[in-house]
Amino acid sequence: MSSRKSPVVVMKFGGTSVGDVTRVKHVADIVMAHRRERPDVAVVVVLSAMAGETNKLVALAKSCVDEPSGREMDVLLASGEQVTVALLAMRLSALGFPAKSLLGAQAKISTSGQHTNAMIEEVETDSIEAVLAEGGVPVIAGFQGVTEGGDITTLGRGGSDITAVAVAAALRAEACLIYTDVRGVYSADPRICRGARLLDRVAHEEMLEMASLGAKVLHTRSVFFAMRYGVPLAVLSTFGGSFVPGVNGTWIVNEDELMEKPVVTGVTHRLDEARLMIQSMPSDISTMARLFSLLGERDILVDMISQETVSPGLVNVSLTVADDQSSVALDIARSSVPELGAGGVSVERNIAKVSVVGLGMRRHTDVAGRTFRALEKHGIDLQMVNTSEIKISVLVARKHCEAAVRALNDEFAPEVSECFDALA
Amino acid sequence: MSSRKSPVVVMKFGGTSVGDVTRVKHVADIVMAHRRERPDVAVVVVLSAMAGETNKLVALAKSCVDEPSGREMDVLLASGEQVTVALLAMRLSALGFPAKSLLGAQAKISTSGQHTNAMIEEVETDSIEAVLAEGGVPVIAGFQGVTEGGDITTLGRGGSDITAVAVAAALRAEACLIYTDVRGVYSADPRICRGARLLDRVAHEEMLEMASLGAKVLHTRSVFFAMRYGVPLAVLSTFGGSFVPGVNGTWIVNEDELMEKPVVTGVTHRLDEARLMIQSMPSDISTMARLFSLLGERDILVDMISQETVSPGLVNVSLTVADDQSSVALDIARSSVPELGAGGVSVERNIAKVSVVGLGMRRHTDVAGRTFRALEKHGIDLQMVNTSEIKISVLVARKHCEAAVRALNDEFAPEVSECFDALA
């Protein structure tokens, strides 16, 4: 552990924030402003590759080999952040703020050996602390680490966020600020819901539900990590001025740090699922089990499930899967029709899943009732329903998605504390 | 030192050879063919970045900062080879030839700390040997290394060739093959001299003279390195089929390995020099010394020098400098005219330096006379002459460059042993 006494803040900038040289310069200005305003607080920066670069490298690999080896894929992908950290470090130094880039291995970010999807096991902070001790800004390549054997690894989706949270945890940072291209976490997607409010705080558990239900602002893995290690985490926009929660920025906090717990904190939606229907299947549990075994063997992840009885001993089973798995799932179900003794199979892709999420649901009754009535009032039919302790998800026709989000945001909005409306 | 018993060959491919995915695949085919033809010989590959990539990264840095820090420039530049080694290693593995990429630090290429122009100090071969011991092909990123403190460095111009030679020396390789976009070393530039012959062998000393006199096939630093460490070095074309010296390939050898020593091995030319003339300068040695001190202070490298007496105590001094230094040199000379007591200064850029190089000159007389007569026969005037033990350089008008090269190639061609004419 370090002997450093001064507080430290970790600032992480995503691919859009460092998408070209002009933006890298802007990021340098943000870091510089922070250093000037709070000279007693040390800054550690974590960067992603330029937006689009990772996809470009993946395409390059695929044009070279059908199935690239994971080890070499990681060497290839890790070159992306190498470019951005070098550019930002040279820019900061030129502005008079000494900075040093640190690649994953140099920052001693040790990971497991699962290439392209490695787990951080440890961050030894001595090389980061050495830069801080010189008064410099460590600029760390996110998304990448190194195995015990010295092989380069990458962390998979949301990897740079995870790097930032892990570094913040190891340094006992006072905050981990995730700079992105949105101002934070909204009560609903502001692109489709004019009444969406920017939240100043959201609980980890809510954020986890919202992320998995379609809010793209943070990857669930980094939220888990922050929750487990008690890292104060915030999301804000690189292009939205200073960090002011509720204006530009949302804190992701422990439940006990919330002053009040709204019944519904946010409304999310996702359009990337498909609904698979198996008609007139025998209702016995062994047939049902067989169906899910077949899907599981092919790594099909099933989200929502429902069944309705059509005649004695026969049910229609509906389930949702990721859109990009739906063709495989359909093939499996179709070829199993004889074995399962089912009547037929169909798929519906014009659907949307809309969810309300809030810790307050635990202590409020009739949230489901209010949800259904609000949708009914707008003539929106429900195809499926799924609930957990702090969320209710409904499946609706895709054409009704926006109306459903607005209806639910309006329904529950009055009950949350007055928030700044970022779009007003 | 290694306990490996089997022989090893180092194959280095330049930026043009790995310029796109199609070419990377072609390189994989060359390596594969070598492994199949000589399964008892291990192969180690060294790669450059894709052609143009380094320039692109330099431009990126310059658009970010006027004067990028050397440390960060190296981090940035090193990303170039990272891409090519990953692609080739995944390609070879997919073809059934297990391969592992090794970055400079992973291959333990230790260098000095002079960023962007570091010197290799040591190659610890254990990680390379570990890949070889598994029967794999190590694919090493050229041009890059690491300091004792763990900082990434790059080796400057010709850096990947130097990596290849250093690795070959450390492994005591039976050969270091430099694959490039020409078939080897020609007696003259085949683009302007139809009678140019591809040489099957050339001595290190000749190659060094030829490289510094305009033959671009190998950088002098790698030739020096090969000579000092006794590395058997060859140059050949990636696109010219198998390695057959004199057909596709030239060995760069020690003088004592040459069966015969032609009077003239090659004719080279360069167009990137300018001639500076200081008229009517006092001929005393202190004025001359002062002139060269002024140029030296500004790092102007002077190549050829001549003086002719114009009247008692007054001389015209001519000197050649690199074209891109000629404006600065002219400014220096012009502003020194009063101090030097000279009559005036002028510059001539329409010049060419044509040189004949050959170890045989040491034992043959009248090479200069034959050179001058051959040029005279074609009506070509000499502006300046410069000689060393194994070369004669003449400065001619640029418009006479091609004719001079052809005349000298023809003049000395009959005396070298019969060679395959690659262009016939």
Q: From the list A61, A66, A101, which residue is nearest B75 (CB)?
A: A101
Establish if A372 belongs to a structural domain. no
- At residue B218, the pLDDT reads 87
Select from B159, B130, B134 the least CA-distant residue to B145.
B159
Select from A82, A47, A162, A325 the least CA-distant residue to B49.
A82
The pTM of this model reads 0.84
A100-158 pLDDT tens trace: 999 999 999 999 999 999 999 999 999 999 999 999 999 999 999 999 999 999 998 88
CB contact under 8 A, A64 and B85: no
Chain A CB contacts of B103 under 8 Å are 75, 152
The whole-number average pLDDT for the span B272-301 is 91
Question: How far does A41 lie from chain B, in Å, by closest CA?
Answer: 24
d(C-alpha B262, C-alpha B360), whole Å? 5
Chain B CB contacts of A127 under 8 Å are 150
Q: What's the first-to-final CA gap in chain B, in angstroms? A: 47
The number of distinct structural domains making up chain A is: 1
Chain B CB contacts of A87 under 8 Å are 60-61, 64, 72, 76
Residue B146's DSSP bridge partners are: B110, B152
Structure tokens at A150: 């010295």
Most confident of A245-254, B81-90, B302-311: B81-90
To test the contact with chain A by mutation, choose from B20, B24, B26, B65 the residue with the greatest count of A C-beta atoms within 10 A, namely B65
CB contact under 8 A, B75 and A82: yes
SS3 assignment, position B283: coil
How big is chain B by its Cα radius of gyration, in Å?
A: 24
Closest chain B residue to the Cα of A67, Cα to Cα: B94
Closest chain B residue to the Cα of A72, Cα to Cα: B86
DSSP B54-122: HHHHHHHHHHH-SS--HHHHHHHHHHHHHHHHHHHHHHHHHTT--EEEE-TTTTTEEE-S-TTS--EEE
- Is residue A352 pLDDT above 50, yes or no? yes
Establish if B106 belongs to a structural domain. yes
Select from A331, A330, A357 the least CA-distant residue to A266.
A357
d(C-alpha A242, C-alpha A236), whole Å? 9
CB contact under 8 A, B85 and A75: yes
Question: How far does A293 lie from chain B, in Å, by closest CA?
Answer: 33
Establish if B293 belongs to a structural domain. no
User: Does residue A387 or residue A398 have the better pLDDT?
Assistant: A398
Burial of A379 (0-12, 13-18, 19+ CB in 10 A): exposed
- Is residue A15 pLDDT above 50, yes or no? yes
Confidence of residue B423 (pLDDT cuts 50, 70, 90): very low
Give the structural domain span for B49.
8-257
DSSP B146-206: E-TTS-EEE--TTHHHHHHHHHHHHHT-SEEEEEESS-S-BSS-TTT-TT--B-SEEEHHH
Establish if A265 belongs to a structural domain. no
Half-sphere exposure at residue A40, Cβ-oriented, CA atoms within 13 angstroms: 4
Residue B100's DSSP bridge partners are: B138
Establish if B262 belongs to a structural domain. no
Chain A CB contacts of B61 under 8 Å are 86-87, 90
Closest chain A residue to the Cα of B23, Cα to Cα: A64
- Is residue A309 pLDDT above 80, yes or no? yes
At A422, the amino acid letter reads A
B380-418 pLDDT tens trace: 999 999 888 889 999 999 999 999 999 999 998 755 433
A106 interfaces chain B, CB cutoff of 8 Å: yes
| Look-up of token digits 């590759």 | A49
Chain A CB contacts of B83 under 8 Å are 57, 60, 76, 79
Q: From the list B63, B91, B105, which residue is nearest A65 (CB)?
A: B91
SS3 assignment, position B207: helix
**Residue-wise burial string across B79-90, b where 16 or more C-beta atoms lie within 10 A, e elsewhere:** bbbbbbbbbbbb
The 3-state secondary structure of chain A reads CCCCCCCEEEEEECCCCCCCHHHHHHHHHHHHHHHHHCCCCEEEEEECCCCCHHHHHHHHHHHHCCCCCHHHHHHHHHHHHHHHHHHHHHHHHHCCCCEEEECCCCCCEEECCCCCCCCEEEECCHHHHHHHHCCCEEEEECCEEECCCCCEEECCCCHHHHHHHHHHHHCCCCEEEEEECCCCCECCCCCCCCCCCECCEEEHHHHHHHHHCCCCCCCHHHHHHHHHHCCCEEEEECCCCCCECCCECEEEECHHHCCCCCCCCEEEEECCEEEEEEEEEECCHHHHHHHHHHHHHCCCCEEEEEEEEEECCEEEEEEEEEHHHHHHHHHHHHHHHHHHCCCEEEEECCEEEEEEECHHHHCCCCHHHHHHHHHHHCCCCCCEEEEECCEEEEEEEHHHHHHHHHHHHHHHHHHCCCCCCCCC
DSSP type of residue B302: E
A137 interfaces chain B, CB cutoff of 8 Å: no
Confidence of residue B93 (pLDDT cuts 50, 70, 90): very high
B70 interfaces chain A, CB cutoff of 8 Å: no
Secondary element (H or E) of residue B12: strand B8-13
- At residue B419, the pLDDT reads 35
d(C-alpha B206, C-alpha A244), whole Å? 69
Select from B77, B71, B72 the least CA-distant residue to B53.
B77
A57 interfaces chain B, CB cutoff of 8 Å: yes
d(C-alpha A406, C-alpha A410), whole Å? 6
At B176, the amino acid letter reads C
Q: From the list A64, A75, A91, which residue is nearest B21 (CB)?
A: A64
Confidence of residue B362 (pLDDT cuts 50, 70, 90): confident
- The CA-based angle A320-A326-A331, given to 5 degrees, is 120
B87 interfaces chain A, CB cutoff of 8 Å: yes
Structure tokens at A27: 């990021």
- Is residue A313 pLDDT above 50, yes or no? yes
SS3 assignment, position B229: helix
CB contact under 8 A, A60 and B21: yes
d(C-alpha B228, C-alpha B232), whole Å? 11
Task: Please tell me the least confidently modeled range out of B57-61, B127-131, B185-189.
Answer: B185-189
A64 interfaces chain B, CB cutoff of 8 Å: yes
Burial of B294 (0-12, 13-18, 19+ CB in 10 A): middle
Structure tokens at A300: 């099909």
| Look-up of token digits 């030192």 | B1
Structure tokens at B96: 């059934």
A119 interfaces chain B, CB cutoff of 8 Å: no
At A269, the amino acid letter reads H
Cβ pairs bridging A and B (under 8 Å): 113
CB contact under 8 A, B83 and A93: no
Establish if B272 belongs to a structural domain. no
DSSP type of residue B41: S
The distance from CA A51 to its chain's CA centroid, rounded to whole angstroms, is 16
CB contact under 8 A, A75 and B127: no
- At residue A417, the pLDDT reads 38
CB contact under 8 A, A82 and B79: yes
Confidence of residue B422 (pLDDT cuts 50, 70, 90): very low
B66 interfaces chain A, CB cutoff of 8 Å: yes
Q: Domain with B218 in it: what CATH number?
A: 3.40.1160.10
- At residue A3, the pLDDT reads 59
Question: How far does B105 lie from chain A, in Å, by closest CA?
Answer: 10
SS3 assignment, position B377: helix
B314 interfaces chain A, CB cutoff of 8 Å: no
Select from B139, B67, B134 the least CA-distant residue to B103.
B139
Sheet holding A8-13, edge to edge: A99-102, A137-141, A42-47, A8-13, A175-180, A233-237, A250-253, A201-203
- At residue B421, the pLDDT reads 34
d(C-alpha A139, C-alpha B189), whole Å? 48
- Is residue B420 pLDDT above 50, yes or no? no
Structure tokens at A237: 């926009």
- At residue A159, the pLDDT reads 93
B149 interfaces chain A, CB cutoff of 8 Å: no
CB contact under 8 A, B72 and A90: yes
Is residue A357 left, alpha or beta, with left meaning phi > 0 and alpha meaning psi from -120 to 50? Answer: beta
Please say whether the beta carbons of A170 and A110 come within 8 A: no
Chain B CB contacts of A101 under 8 Å are 71-72, 75
Task: Give percent of chain A above pLDDT 90.
Answer: 75
Structure tokens at B99: 């391969």
The whole-number average pLDDT for the span A212-226 is 84
Task: Please tell me the least confidently modeled range out of A236-245, A409-418, B191-200.
Answer: A409-418
The whole-number average pLDDT for the span A315-344 is 93
B73 interfaces chain A, CB cutoff of 8 Å: yes
Structure tokens at B222: 């790698």
- At residue A306, the pLDDT reads 87
Closest chain B residue to the Cα of A26, Cα to Cα: B64
B310-351 pLDDT tens trace: 899 999 999 999 999 999 999 999 999 999 999 999 999 999
> A397 phi and psi, to 5 degrees?
-65, 145
CB contact under 8 A, B61 and A86: yes
- At residue B3, the pLDDT reads 59
- Which residues 8-27 of chain A have a CB within 8 Å of chain B? 21, 24-25
d(C-alpha A118, C-alpha A121), whole Å? 9
Residue B362's DSSP bridge partners are: none
**Residue-wise burial string across B241-274, b where 16 or more C-beta atoms lie within 10 A, e elsewhere:** eebebbbbbbbbbeeeebeebbbbbbbbbbeebb
How high does pLDDT run on average in chain A? Answer: 91
- Is residue A418 pLDDT above 60, yes or no? no
Chain A CB contacts of B91 under 8 Å are 64-65
To test the contact with chain B by mutation, choose from A20, A27, A64, A128 the residue with the greatest count of B C-beta atoms within 10 A, namely A64
Question: How far does B46 lie from chain A, in Å, by closest CA?
Answer: 16
Find the DSSP H helices in B261-366: 285-297, 326-335, 337-340
Please say whether the beta carbons of B80 and B57 come within 8 A: yes
Chain B CB contacts of A67 under 8 Å are 94
DSSP type of residue B49: P
- Is residue B46 pLDDT above 50, yes or no? yes
CB contact under 8 A, B127 and A106: no
Establish if A258 belongs to a structural domain. no
Question: How far does A178 lie from chain B, in Å, by closest CA?
Answer: 23
Establish if B134 belongs to a structural domain. yes
- Is residue A4 pLDDT above 70, yes or no? no
**Residue-wise burial string across A45-64, b where 16 or more C-beta atoms lie within 10 A, e elsewhere:** bbbbbbbebbeebeebbeeb
